[in-house]
Amino acid sequence: MLLLKLLLIAFLLLWLVAMVVGYNYGRVGRRMQKQETKRELDAPLPPLSVIITAHNQALALRRHLPAILAQDYDRFEVVVVNMGSNDETKDVLERLELQYANLRHTYTPRSARDISLDRLALTLGIRSAAYDWVVLTHPDCEPITSQWLRHIGELIADPRRSLQGASLKKPDMILGFARYHRHRTTWFDSKIDFFRLWHNIVGYNFVLSHHGAVRADGCNMAIRKDYFMEQGGFSAHQNLKAGAEELLVNYTSKPDNTALLLMPAAAVLQDPMPARRLWKQQRVFYAETRRHQRNRRWYRLTQNVRLLMPWLMLIMTIAIPLTMILLQQLDSLAIDAGTIAVSILVSLLLLIIYAVVKVVSFNTTARQLGAPRYYLSMLLFELYLPFWNLSAAIAHRRASKNEFRKKFV
């Protein structure tokens, strides 16, 4: 009898924690609903420099760069750093430079040996920027609207436009939202889109809890040039292949200097992942990036709670009826069939309430961000999350550490 009581108490406590975790998925969405978007701006908009690094991505530049160059913004430039491309990247850039006076490009030196070309290219681009605020994105990305840079500039001029509101005084960096362009509707596309969205929501919640950002999406972020230089740029991890933007934010973000700009009009779309192996490679490289993150134990703890909570709820929902049946079979407790049936129904009801609250909260944020909605698939993908992370961790452990370093892109 004591065992059963302890199990029931543990289940109720777990359910309450699970409800709080599930409800927290909607925190970003609820904050966005209350956000003031129509404020009078009495300060001039600052000039911006958009930095893009490209390696053999002529097709992506030809497709997406005009949308960036045609932004509705008074003063901005676009700097593309060519990382030793051997395709038509140079020709594409030279043709576009004839059409757009605010586009210019540069190159990474071929002699670079002990530094990641990606970090070197970003550093060269930021150093060569003509303006104090630089916006980072990728060649295969395109703003959803022509107001992308305007929203960034307005937030710099008036930090109260950020999701944190009046609690943010003067930002040194801005984190935006990016997602994959859903040209296709395959299961794989839904999966990787959910994976990216889930991690973004968890990261935004952490920032809203008055912590420095742990992660960032390199497709849509901005940083003050002087602040980048003051913090030493990428010098701390200059020989790592991947994770340049993430580690930059991880090491330099503070609770009072990082602004969230998440309105749909300021979002960026990225081309879909062309192959499954690239998604797996991306997760393996993040496993290496995670090793070099500053100690953010509270972030990792909350993330692990979110990952394990669905499985704990399922296990406890099954464990209570099974325990009753087992005790009945052992004749150690007089439990009739009606009591067992009621316990099963109550357990299922609590599980359903938890699932509904979680799905509604998650979709509240997804809708506000302009991302696709997830219903039953959200529950399934969330159950898969720990296994996706585990498979990446195993592949990372088996890989040679030299694979993640040196000059290769």
What is the rounded average pLDDT of the residues 183-207?
91
**Buried-exposed string 306-325: b where 16+ CB fall within 10 A, e elsewhere:** bbebbebbeebbeebbebbe
Mean per-residue pLDDT, 306-313: 94
Task: Tell me the pLDDT band of 295, cut-offs 50, 70 and 90.
Answer: low
Per-residue model confidence (pLDDT) at position 207? 93
Segment 315-326, tens digit of pLDDT: 988 888 887 777
CA distance 330 to 320: 15
Coil, helix or strand for 80?
A: strand
On whether the CB atoms of residues 60 and 32 are closer than 8 A, the answer is: no
pLDDT classification of 1: cutoffs 50, 70, 90: low
- Whether the per-residue pLDDT at 334 is higher than 90: the answer is no
pLDDT (tens digit per residue) in 284-293: 999 999 888 8
pLDDT digits (tens, 9 = 90+) for 206-254: 999 999 999 899 999 999 999 999 999 888 788 888 889 999 999 999 9
pLDDT over 80 at 179, yes or no: yes
- For 260-275, the pLDDT digits (tens) are 999 999 999 999 988 8
As given in the structure block, the two tokens for residue 403 are: 């694979």
Q: What mean pLDDT, rounded, does the chain reach? A: 89
pLDDT level of residue 408 (50, 70, 90 thresholds): very low
- Compute CA distances 106 → 81, 129, 229, whole Å: 5, 11, 20
Beta-strand ranges (E) seen in 250-324 are 258-261, 268-270
The mean pLDDT of 329-352, rounded to a whole number, is 77
pLDDT computed for residue 409 by the predictor: 43
State in Å, rounded, how far the first CA of the chain is from the last one: 61
CA 12 – CA 153 distance, rounded (Å): 48
| pLDDT at site 196 | 95
pTM of the model: 0.92
- pLDDT tens digits, one per residue of 60-69: 999 999 999 9
Residue 224, strand partner residues: 133
Check residue 98 and give its pLDDT.
95
CATH 3.40.50.1980 fits 43-275, yes or no: no
Dump pLDDT digits (tens) for 87-135: 899 999 999 999 999 999 998 876 655 567 888 899 999 999 999 999 9
Residue 378 has pLDDT above 70, yes or no: yes
Give the tens place of pLDDT for each residue, 136-172: 999 999 999 999 999 999 999 998 889 988 778 889 9
pLDDT value at position 292? 87
What does R_g of the chain's alpha carbons equal in angstroms? 24
- Closest to 145 in 3D by CA, of 269, 270, 272: 269
Q: Where are the beta strands (DSSP E) in 185-338?
A: 221-224, 258-261, 268-270
Which residues in the chain are classed under CATH 3.90.550.10?
43-275
User: Residue 330: pLDDT band by 50, 70, 90 thresholds?
Assistant: low
β-pairing, 76-82 vs 103-107, is parallel
d(CA 187, CA 361): 22
**What is the per-residue pLDDT for 293?**
87
Residue with the larger pLDDT of the pair 184 and 173: 173
